Amino acid sequence: MSSTKMVDPKVRNVGATEYSWCKAVHGGTGIAVLALLSSKKPDISHFQIALNKLQNSHPILKSKLHSNTTTSNGNFTFLTFQNPFVKIQQHNLSLTSNILGRNKNNDDTVSSFQLILEHELNQNSWHNDLNRSSSHSDDMFVASIYAMPEETWTVVMRLHVAACDRTTAISILREMLVLMKEEERESESEEWKKREIGFAMEDLVDGGKGKKGIWARGIDVLSYSLNSFRLTNLKFCDTKGTRFSQVVRLQLNHNDTKRVLDGCKHNRIKLCGALSAAGLMAAHSSKNSSRKYGIITLTDCRSSLEPPLSINNFGFYHSAILNSHLIKGGEDLWELAKKTYGAFANSKNNNKHFSDMADMNFLMCKAIDNPTLTSSSSLRTSIMSVFEDTVIDDGGKVQREVGVDDYMGCASIHGVGPSIAIFDTIREAKLDCIFVYPAPLHSREQMLDLVNKMKVILIEGGKAYEG
């Protein structure tokens, strides 16, 4: 038997989409955070074992992102190690209190749990001073525990989006809950050491379709031109201050959720259509003339890759579709929802619009390199982003068993991106949406006002589907 020498770490260059995320995360967009509020004190060694198992089954989580800034465009590679290395950062109550005190700003409407989530969204371990040294490596995955007031704990997993799209975040949540229930036993497996990180999305594009396939599928050539930087934005509150990500949450009760979902079913659209429409109507309510707005819809490409990937393939495998919509005022929720969803579905299906010239990566990188192309250097590429598919979570029972009372998952957008990124979940048949926005470009008051308007629009719209 020939002994093949195991190289540690294994090296893989980033793909085009991963590359654009590396650039975006450097500026503050794409820091994914999964935060769990627990009423049971987490057993650190148990948690560490669960993290090790998680990393062993998904090698991208035991990778570091290596950047070599001596190359002009900043070259990025993944270094994947055989052994898991994530160390849990522990914050005692006094450390947590300091963080809460710094972030509170006399705002008692925001829970401590949410303040910790916001704090983590703004911890950018991937923001290196490009002049510091010619090359450095940073972990793709960071875990922390915060002791919280009132005998609760927040467990946080923070990841670079190139390693973790929303599908991966949901899988991590589900796998962690199972691992936390399991017995404490660390099993050594040689097989784990041989597991490799997955391919970049571009390398899984069907040869026959050529590069044009997956990329162009959803590309509406017109909307991807730089004209999209001229689409209407929300009013900017402060364009000068250093940006950071903040969060507002929208929750609907069981009955209102059911009516909205019935409305979607009746109109043969996905929930993202209703959310986009409600968002556009709320944003436009203060305007008295027609405006054109951009909506980005993120769609999971796993099933259309060659070979197709499953949710167990961790990484970033979404592509983005930008559609623009003219809003005049006085629209009906469901008519507009059909229009916005239809535009997206059409872009996704319409192979005639194939083009290899421009895509969202291009648009994102263009804005990063030339902020002044965007209105007030806001780096906003659209008013709102939504996911094509809602996360359905009926796992409340398992969550309660391990002591998880609540959780929130989302990613930062204060570098480049939309004004509002919506992360929606139907949790135990109730709609639970997290809205991430860049502050102080937008203020919490502005966002609360917008989200409350959306809530009223959705509840009122749902009334047509009562009973």
Ligand X SMILES: *[C@@H]1O[C@H](CO)[C@@H](O)[C@H](O)[C@H]1NC(C)=O
Residue 63 is given by DSSP the state E
Which amino acid is located at 70 in the chain?
T
- If the CB atoms of residues 13 and 45 are measured against ligand X, the closer one turns out to be 13
Token duo for residue 272: 């993202």
CB 37 within 8 A of CB 404: yes
The DSSP annotation for 406-444 comes to: EEEEEEEESSSEEEEEEEEEEETTEEEEEEEEEETTS-H
- 184 vs 310: CA distance, rounded Å: 28
Rg, C-alpha atoms of the chain: 22
Q: Does 288 bind ligand X (CB under 6 A)?
A: yes
The DSSP annotation for 362-408 comes to: HHHHHHHH-GGGSGGG--EEEEEEEESSPEEE--HHHHHHTTEEEEE
- If the CB atoms of residues 268 and 463 are measured against ligand X, the closer one turns out to be 463
- If the CB atoms of residues 26 and 339 are measured against ligand X, the closer one turns out to be 26
Q: What are phi and psi of 383, to 5 degrees?
A: -80, -30
Q: Report 13-52 residues binding ligand X (CB under 6 A).
A: 13
SS3 59: helix
CA distances from 409 to 105, 165, 413 (A): 23, 11, 13
CB of 377 to ligand X, least distance (A): 17
CB of 59 to ligand X, least distance (A): 20
- If the CB atoms of residues 283 and 411 are measured against ligand X, the closer one turns out to be 283
- 198 vs 129: CA distance, rounded Å: 29
- 279 vs 419: CA distance, rounded Å: 11
Q: What is the dihedral of CA 140, 60, 417, 344, to 10 degrees?
A: -160
CB 256 within 8 A of CB 249: no
CB of 99 to ligand X, least distance (A): 12
Q: What is the per-residue binding string for ligand X in 217-256, x denoting contact by CB under 6 A?
A: ------------------------------------x-x-
- If the CB atoms of residues 265 and 328 are measured against ligand X, the closer one turns out to be 328
Q: Does 98 bind ligand X (CB under 6 A)?
A: no
CB of 98 to ligand X, least distance (A): 10
Residue 35 is given by DSSP the state E
Among 75, 111, 137, 375, which residue sits at the site for ligand X (rule: CB under 6 A)?
Answer: 75
Strand pairing class (404-413; 244-251): unpaired
Among 6, 44, 95, 464, which residue sits at the site for ligand X (rule: CB under 6 A)?
Answer: 95
Q: What is the per-residue binding string for ligand X in 369-408, x denoting contact by CB under 6 A?
A: ----------------------------------------
- If the CB atoms of residues 120 and 256 are measured against ligand X, the closer one turns out to be 256
CB of 255 to ligand X, least distance (A): 4
Among 5, 109, 129, 369, which residue sits at the site for ligand X (rule: CB under 6 A)?
Answer: 129
Choose the stretch contacting ligand X; rule: CB under 6 A; options: 91-99, 164-172, 187-195, 327-335. 91-99
Which amino acid is located at 120 in the chain?
E
Which amino acid is located at 213 in the chain?
G
Residue for token digits 């929130």? 408
Which amino acid is located at 383 in the chain?
I
Strands across the sheet with 63-68, in order?
10-13, 75-80, 63-68, 135-139
- If the CB atoms of residues 110 and 197 are measured against ligand X, the closer one turns out to be 197
SS3 336: helix
- If the CB atoms of residues 3 and 94 are measured against ligand X, the closer one turns out to be 94
Q: Residues touching ligand X: how many (CB under 6 A)?
A: 16
- If the CB atoms of residues 71 and 239 are measured against ligand X, the closer one turns out to be 71
CB of 112 to ligand X, least distance (A): 17
- If the CB atoms of residues 74 and 342 are measured against ligand X, the closer one turns out to be 74
CB of 340 to ligand X, least distance (A): 24
CB of 345 to ligand X, least distance (A): 32
Among 45, 83, 92, 105, which residue sits at the site for ligand X (rule: CB under 6 A)?
Answer: 92
Q: Does 83 bind ligand X (CB under 6 A)?
A: no
List, in sequence order, every beta strand (DSSP E) within 57-151.
63-68, 75-80, 88-91, 135-139, 141-148
CB of 14 to ligand X, least distance (A): 8
CB of 130 to ligand X, least distance (A): 6
- If the CB atoms of residues 308 and 329 are measured against ligand X, the closer one turns out to be 329
Among 131, 187, 242, 310, which residue sits at the site for ligand X (rule: CB under 6 A)?
Answer: 131
CB of 349 to ligand X, least distance (A): 32
Residues that bind ligand X (CB under 6 A): 13, 68, 70-71, 73, 75, 92, 94-95, 129, 131, 135, 253, 255, 288-289
